[in-house]
Amino acid sequence: MFSILTLCVQKCPLLLTKMSCFLLDPDENGLFGRSVDAAMLTITRNEENDISCAMIYLEAVVNLSNFADHESHDLRWRAMGEPISKSISKIWKELFFNLIGGACGIYSLKVLEAASSLLHMLLTRIPSEDVETIIIAALNFEHFIMGDDAKDIALKFLKRCTSGNISSSKVLFFFSDLWNMHQTDDIDMIAGSESVNMFKETYRSQVC
């Protein structure tokens, strides 16, 4: 389903965003809003292929919102702006928390590429006034076990990503490194381990 929806976002976004669903209340975002909600629900489940497809769809939606903002002078894009913005504003905080939790070991290895790509895209959409607050809140969840120094470096790296100057490949490496650090049962010792020290040295040079 999400593969078809992704194609619709890419090829006929106006049709998808304006298509109504008679089973919904009049103030709902129709089929588009329902599809975004379904994608959010899917990424919390255990079917790896479904999770990846849902993430790819959400990335296409976030990318569409970027494009709609830049093309707001065009009446067609302006017509799409409201349902897109409404859907993004509804989900972005929960989505960000899910992605950071996934990087901290919750996701399986097979979905890391789709998750990191979505995170890279989402970071460019976080309102500037909310950036530091939301990143700190996500990293302060119990999932992050690498210690305060590593947390501070992760915060600075993610903040730099919001500028759009960090490539998606670097975000993938960062995401994968975080994930690997959390594949341990020795929670009490990981913060002072050699692997975490190497992580700090690697990413300190990218944020200073």
Residue 140, number of CB atoms within 10 A of its CB: 11
How many Cβ atoms from other residues are within 10 Å of residue 192's Cβ? 11
Which H or E element spans position 18? helix 13-18
pLDDT tens across the length of the chain (208 residues): 899 999 988 888 777 777 654 444 455 557 888 899 999 999 988 789 999 999 999 999 998 876 656 555 566 666 677 778 888 888 999 999 999 999 999 999 999 999 999 999 999 887 778 888 999 999 998 789 999 999 999 999 999 998 888 999 999 999 999 999 998 877 778 888 999 999 999 999 888 7
Alpha-carbon torsion 125, 129, 132, 133, what sign?
A: negative
Domain boundaries along the sequence of the chain: 2-207
